Amino acid sequence: MLIPILSSLLAISAIAAAVPQGNRPRLAPKLPLSDFNTTKFFQPITLEEALEGARNDKTAEPEPAEFSMGIMATCANPRVRTEWHSATTDMRRAYVNAIRCLLGRAPSGNFRGATNRYEDAVALHQSLTPNVHGNHKFLLWHRYYLWAFEDMLRGECGYTGSLLWFDESVYAGRFSQSSVFSNDYFGAVNLGGNCVTNGAFAGLTLNIGPGTSNRPHCLARNEDNTKTANTNAQIVDACNRRTSYADMASCSEGGAHAWGHNGIGAVMQDTYGSPGDPVFWLHHAWIDRNFRIWQNADQSRYTYIDGTDRAGNPLTLDMGISLNGLRRDVRIRDVINTLEETMCYKYSY
């Protein structure tokens, strides 16, 4: 009996030795935090700066509750984006599993550096970063980008829900206490720049970024509570008291948006490749929700636009928004209202 067993073990050893080293799984390298400090197209603003802008806007009014002045939907059965902590365990798991599904699917081949379908979306963001940050197209482009990602989850991975969102104002200065950053879901945040080794995305290798480069690296985070403290309700409300779209959009990008990215840190601090961290979608859905609340304060905010794009061209309702083939091109008028035919969704509060 011993001889056959030894022969089998030797055969298995021989097969293992014949497998090239390059085909064996390897942990992606951890990159220095400085590598994620890529070009910024906006500067974070303080609460005082946000408040000062609101004071200077003499027509500013307090923001109403979500949907208290919301317009009637012109689309049937709007999807409802639920806040993470209000979602059921089944909803959370389905959402996380759908993201994992995209990570396991083959890339389209249309986006440089992408090694899976999820990275198609990351590579798209990387390629358009200078055009959709640091100017007033920021909120509108990201609104359609989020919708496209939700559409991918539903159409390619059988997901039946909507994007979830993380109300960061409730956990300002203490993100690690949220179940978002737990072993059950997205893994830890207070890692000092180290790789995520727990949760649904433990050991995840990213291939897009940092910056405009494409180097394999691990999903890493570097929580800074002094930065996430600036995702509080006061700074959100101060930005939403701006009455012009352009002023509000600039305040939003440099306010809670910037502090959330920089406070989670590492991959999320990389302006170009930040969607590589799956937490990106929770964060940006919250930013889009804040935009929606601003719109609900005045019906005219669904039918007008101001500000400029990267080249200094005035934004108009007929200006195009492109996702470079990830989804069809649209116009600003197609995405300025989330309750029309192009997109059909609202937020739980």
Boundaries of every domain in the chain: 28-347
Q: What is the DSSP string of 122-185?
A: HHHHHHHHHHHSSSTTHHHHHHHHHHHHHHHHHHHH---S---B--TTTTTT-GGGSGGGSTTT
Contact 111, 119 (CB under 8 A): yes
Residue 15 clears pLDDT 50, i.e. is over it: no
- Pairing between β-strand 330-331 and β-strand 320-321 as defined by DSSP bridges: antiparallel
Name residue 282's amino acid. Answer: L
What does the pLDDT look like over 233-255, one tens digit per residue? 999 999 999 999 999 999 999 99
Chain center to CA of 152? 14
Please, are residues 114 and 207 in contact by the beta-carbon 8 Å criterion? yes
> Distance between CA 74 and CA 77 in Å, rounded?
10
Name the helix (H) or strand (E) containing 16: helix 2-18
Quick check: 11 pLDDT over 60? Answer: no
Specify the CATH architecture of the domain 28-347. Orthogonal Bundle (1.10)
Average pLDDT, the chain: 89
The residue ranking higher by pLDDT, 2 or 329, is: 329
**Segment 162-220, tens digit of pLDDT:** 999 999 999 999 999 999 999 999 999 999 999 999 999 999 999 999 999 999 999 99
**In this predicted model, which residue has the larger pLDDT, 72 or 130?**
130
**pLDDT tens track for 308-333:** 999 999 999 999 999 999 999 999 99
- Strand partners of residue 83: 165
